[in-house]
Amino acid sequence: MSPKRIGLTFSLIAFLAAAAAPADAQDVSKYSEDAVRQELADKALMETIVMVPMRDGVSLAANVYRPKNARGWLPTILSKTPYNEVGDFARTNREALKAVSRGYAYVVQSERGRYFSEGEYEILGRPQTDGYDTLSWIARQPWSNGKVGTLGCSSTAEWQLALAALNHPAHAAMVPMAAGAGIGKVGRFQEQGNWYTGGVPRSLFFVWLYGVDNPLRAQLPAGLDPATRSRIARYNDLNAKKPTVDWTRQIRHLPVDEMLSDLGEPPATFEKFIGRTPADPAWRQGGLYHDDAGWGVPALWFNSWYDVSIGPNMELFNHARGTRTDREASDNQYVVVAPNNHCAFSALKPGFTSGDRSLGDPSFDVDGAVFGWFDRWLKGDAKAFPASTPRVRYYTMGENAWKAGAQWPPREAKTVRMYLRGGGDANSLYGDGKLSRAAPPRGEAADSYVYDPNSPVQTIGGGDCCNGGLVVAGAFDQRPIEARRDVLVYTTDPLSEPMEVSGFVDAVLKVSSDARDTDFAVKLVDVAPDGTAYILADTIFRARYRNGYDRPEPMRPGTVYTIRPTPMTTSNRFAKGHRIRVEVTSSNF
């Protein structure tokens, strides 16, 4: 156990703006799987398990869908995936139907080493070369007009980022949704594919890798004829049937680097990644996008406030706009930020709830925006996505309204500095912690707490994803953990007028510890008049990296250090009578 004395400053971006009307919603989930399959058969020419050759002789499996009776050459939408979606699968059929109904060819391809694709699977290992070669293959097809748009969410978005740096002549536009795991280092974020936040490894990849990175998976031999491969795909399921794991127990296994081997897993990606630091040169050897690369593709980004990747995604959006390797590309970056969880854009409907909080009607016509974007760049229809479209559209929680602006943070934003003041007694919800615009007087007592790693502070909501239900993301009430003495809680007085916080939110901590290393976790919370404490955003930082991720250094007892966690990102209107709250502790587990 290690007591810590903490004096802190806290700065945030505050902004007030007029609302913009949300786009009309389009519900594409009303068709049954059988109805989708039948309509697709009526409208599309389908080729399944088409083997696409890569430069090293490996071939990757793809499905190709083209509109029947199409006249002339076709624009194409490409998705690449590590999941079992090449064959006859509901999500593939639904996405293909959307595309062919609008006059597009649609190609969905399994990543290298996955299911019916040949080669060895590498997480984000070859998105550049495999993606590049697939674009070239599509552009050579007799039905192609030479223009390809890339589309996908999460793993089907992440490979697009590194590919955008190569500026393939056929890569006309992209729609990356929730693509954080494709980002290595960008600006103030060095999360290496969401493996870290602030140098702290995230549990989501422990869980995700167990399910996806399976070295014992079934794989077909190379050289099978197309008919045999297609028959196998039709009659067999290559999904691994792995035992269910109680992650609430397994996540506590020590040492951490044996967490998966303890489950009987052979060594694979987890063991390779867990031994790295955030600045390890090995992160440069894969397919992550780093901000020293150029950017060559117009992009329509979709992000969400309660996703694990919202911070680096917004930083990358700004980076892509500022990169001048391709002026047309940098001038054509647009983003939509919604209040949903990871990839759950279909949930944007009236009566939307995140965690414990009702957030009104965030309806948004996602498909209309996506295909309008592709119509502009792949079909040359400038009216489909006018240049006057706002560069940034975002949903302000609390006000429950869509806003529009020219940049992120909004141009009208101003910085407001607040201080964390507890006078030595900010422990728990019941302490004296105040969040104040007035700086503390010299000599005011620092706040301290005792952190026991064997009793970490539980994660309740916030931004997360993909961890087998270990954490449910969203705006959940934080009072159960704010009752703990090892959580410092700082709260404003009830607001006399509304205050909007839209932008990056920065915390600066002055810390001292008797431990040589520890983590510092910070949360931003909206407290309603009835006391409900809705989490808005969170961050964490490992103290050894305070001088840079490439210069880890232990702390010395009694020495005060400045800690700057990676920024939080949100848009929330604190209503009159609400209170702004900040939590500080040493875990978010």
What Å distances lie between residue 443 and 7, 417, 432, CA to CA? 11, 20, 17
Global pTM exceeds 0.85: yes
| Residues 6+ positions from 227 with CB-CB distance below 8 Å | none
Q: Which residue bears the tokens 């407290």?
A: 527
- Rounding to the nearest 10 degrees, give the CA dihedral for residues 507, 510, 515, 516: 80
In the prediction, which pLDDT does 415 show?
Answer: 96
Residue, of 112 and 491, whose pLDDT is higher: 491
- Furthest C-alpha separation in the chain: 80
The mean pLDDT of 183-203, rounded to a whole number, is 93
Report residue 375's pLDDT band, with 50, 70 and 90 as the boundaries.
very high
The rounded distance, in Å, linking the Cα atoms of 509 and 5 is 10
Helix (H, G, I), strand (E, B) or coil at 299: strand
> H or E element: which one contains 144?
strand 144-153
The rounded distance, in Å, linking the Cα atoms of 541 and 3 is 17
Q: Which residue bears the tokens 């090293």?
A: 56
| Residues 6+ positions from 153 with CB-CB distance below 8 Å | 177, 178, 179, 302, 343, 345
The rounded distance, in Å, linking the Cα atoms of 440 and 7 is 9
- Rounding to the nearest 10 degrees, give the CA dihedral for residues 182, 184, 185, 190: 110
Return contacts of 257-265, CB within 8 angstroms, 24+ apart: 259/206, 260/206, 260/209, 260/210, 263/210, 265/210, 265/215
In the prediction, which pLDDT does 30 show?
Answer: 65
Q: Would you give the distance in Å from CA 217 to the centre of its chain?
A: 27
Q: Would you give the distance in Å from CA 56 to the centre of its chain?
A: 31
Domains belonging to the chain, first-starting first, are 2-17+414-585 (2.60.120.260), 33-389 (3.40.50.1820)
In the prediction, which pLDDT does 550 show?
Answer: 96
The mean pLDDT of 359-370, rounded to a whole number, is 97
The mean pLDDT of 555-581, rounded to a whole number, is 98
The rounded distance, in Å, linking the Cα atoms of 575 and 497 is 7
Q: Give the count of beta carbons closer than 10 Å to the beta carbon of residue 24.
A: 9
What Å distances lie between residue 477 and 361, 524, 534, 584, CA to CA? 21, 12, 5, 16
The rounded distance, in Å, linking the Cα atoms of 302 and 334 is 9
Instruction: Dump pLDDT digits (tens) for 270-284.
Output: 999 999 999 999 999
| Mean per-residue pLDDT of the chain | 90
In the prediction, which pLDDT does 132 show?
Answer: 95
**pLDDT beyond 50 at 21:** no
The rounded distance, in Å, linking the Cα atoms of 167 and 147 is 12
**pLDDT beyond 80 at 39:** yes
**Whether the Cβ atoms of residue 195 and residue 310 lie closer than 8 Å to each other:** no
For the ranges 67-71, 174-178, 498-502, the lowest mean pLDDT is seen at: 67-71
Report residue 4's pLDDT band, with 50, 70 and 90 as the boundaries.
very low
Torsion region of 325: left, alpha or beta (phi above 0 gives left; psi -120 to 50 gives alpha): alpha
